[in-house]
Chain A
Amino acid sequence: MATGFDAQNPPFDRLSQPEAEELRAAADIGYFAPGEVIIARGAAADVLHVVIKGAVEAREGEALQGVLGPRDSFDSRALVHGAAGEDFRAAEETLCFLLPGALVRRLIARNPAFAAFFYADVSRKLEAFAEARLPEGGMESVLRARVRDAMRHRAEFIDGAATIGQAGAAMAAADINALFVRHAAQTGVVTGMNLAKAAVLRQMPLSTPVSALAHFDIVAVQADDLLLDALLAMTRHNKRRLAVRDGDTFVGFLEDIDLLGRFAGNSQLIPRRIDAARDVAELAEPARAIQDQVERLHRQGVKVEVIAEITSDLNRRLFVRLFDLIAPDSIRAEGCLILMGSEGRAEQTVRTDQDNGLLLGAEVPQADLATFREAFSGALDRFGFPPCPGNVMVRNPLWSQTAAGMERQLRRWVDARTPEAAMNIAIFLDAVALTGRVGLLDDTKAALLRMMRGESALMAHFAHLIDSFATPSLGVLSTLMTSVGVGEDAIDIKKAGIFPIVHGIRTMALDRGIAATPTAVRIAALVAAGALQDELGRDLLGALRVFMAYRIATQIEAVRRGTVEEEALVRPSRLTAADRDILRDSLRVVRVFREVIATRFKTSVF
Chain B
Amino acid sequence: MIAWLRRRFWRAALADPDFLFLLDEPPVGEAISLDCETTGLDPWVDEIVAIAAVPVIGNRIATSARFQAVVKPDRMPGAGSIKVHGLRRRDVAQGRPMAEVLPELLRFIGPRPLVGYYIDFDVRMIDRYALHQIGARLPNRRIEVSSLYYDRKYGKAPPGTNIDLRFTSIRRELGIPDLGQHDAFADALMAAMMWVQLRDMAARGQRLKREGRREATAAPLGA
Mark A residues whose CB is within 8 Å of B. Answer: 1-3, 25-33, 52-54, 70, 92-93, 95, 98, 480, 483-486
Interface string of B180-223 (1 = CB under 8 A from A): 10010110010011001100110010000000001001100110
Question: Would you call B168 an interface residue if the criterion is a C-beta within 8 Å of the partner chain's C-beta atoms?
Answer: no
Q: Which residues from A are CB-within-8-Å of B63?
A: 3, 27-29
State the 8 A-B residue pairs at the shortest beta-carbon distance, nearest first: A31-B196, A29-B61, A31-B59, A484-B218, A33-B200, A53-B175, A93-B197, A3-B179
Do residues A98 and B60 form an inter-chain contact, with CB atoms below 8 A? Answer: yes
Interface size class for chain B? 20 to 34
Q: Which residues from A are CB-within-8-Å of B60?
A: 28-31, 98
Q: Which residues from B are CB-within-8-Å of A480?
A: 221
Contacts A2-B180, A3-B185, A93-B201 given: A484-B62 contact, CB under 8 Å? no
CB distance from A241 to the nearest CB of B (A): 60
Do residues B178 and A28 form an inter-chain contact, with CB atoms below 8 A? Answer: no
CB distance from B50 to the nearest CB of A (A): 14
A33–B201 CA distance with the chains assembled, in angstroms: 8
CB distance from B69 to the nearest CB of A (A): 16
Across the interface, B189 reaches (CB within 8 A) one of A3, A32, A70, namely A3
Question: Would you call B64 an interface residue if the criterion is a C-beta within 8 Å of the partner chain's C-beta atoms?
Answer: yes
A-B contact pairs, 24 of them (CB 8 A): A1-B179, A1-B180, A3-B63, A3-B179, A3-B180, A3-B185, A3-B189, A25-B64, A27-B64, A29-B193, A30-B59, A30-B61, A31-B59, A31-B200, A32-B59, A53-B175, A53-B176, A53-B177, A70-B177, A95-B196, A95-B197, A98-B60, A485-B218, A486-B218
CB distance from A150 to the nearest CB of B (A): 50
Do residues B64 and A26 form an inter-chain contact, with CB atoms below 8 A? Answer: yes
Do residues B221 and A486 form an inter-chain contact, with CB atoms below 8 A? Answer: yes
Question: Would you call B23 an interface residue if the criterion is a C-beta within 8 Å of the partner chain's C-beta atoms?
Answer: no
Q: Which residues from A are CB-within-8-Å of B59?
A: 30-33
- Main secondary structure on A side of the interface with B: mixed
Chain B, Cβ-Cβ closest to A54: B175
Do residues A3 and B183 form an inter-chain contact, with CB atoms below 8 A? Answer: yes
Chain A, Cβ-Cβ closest to B222: A486
- Main secondary structure on B side of the interface with A: helix
Question: Would you call B174 an interface residue if the criterion is a C-beta within 8 Å of the partner chain's C-beta atoms?
Answer: yes
Chain B, Cβ-Cβ closest to A481: B221
Q: Which residues from B are CB-within-8-Å of A33?
A: 59, 200, 204
CB distance from B62 to the nearest CB of A (A): 5
A25–B185 CA distance with the chains assembled, in angstroms: 13
CB distance from A311 to the nearest CB of B (A): 43
Q: Which residues from A are CB-within-8-Å of B178?
A: 1
- Among A2, A27, A92, A93, the one with the most B-chain Cβ atoms within 10 Å of its Cβ is A93
Chain B, Cβ-Cβ closest to A4: B63
Do residues B183 and A28 form an inter-chain contact, with CB atoms below 8 A? Answer: no
CB distance from A355 to the nearest CB of B (A): 40
Q: Which residues from B are CB-within-8-Å of A93?
A: 174-175, 197, 200-201
A1–B197 CA distance with the chains assembled, in angstroms: 20
CB distance from B28 to the nearest CB of A (A): 17
Contacts A27-B64, A30-B60 given: A52-B177 contact, CB under 8 Å? yes
CB distance from B122 to the nearest CB of A (A): 18
CB distance from B221 to the nearest CB of A (A): 6
Chain A, Cβ-Cβ closest to B61: A29
Q: Which residues from A are CB-within-8-Å of B64?
A: 25-28
Q: Which residues from B are CB-within-8-Å of A26?
A: 64
A485–B217 CA distance with the chains assembled, in angstroms: 10
Known: A25-B64, A486-B221. 14 other contacts (CB 8 A): A3-B63, A3-B179, A3-B183, A3-B185, A3-B189, A28-B60, A29-B189, A29-B193, A31-B60, A33-B204, A93-B175, A93-B197, A93-B200, A484-B217
- Among A32, A33, A70, A485, the one with the most B-chain Cβ atoms within 10 Å of its Cβ is A33
Q: Which residues from A are CB-within-8-Å of B62?
A: 28
Chain B, Cβ-Cβ closest to A29: B61
Interface string of B24-60 (1 = CB under 8 A from A): 0000000000000000000000000000000000011
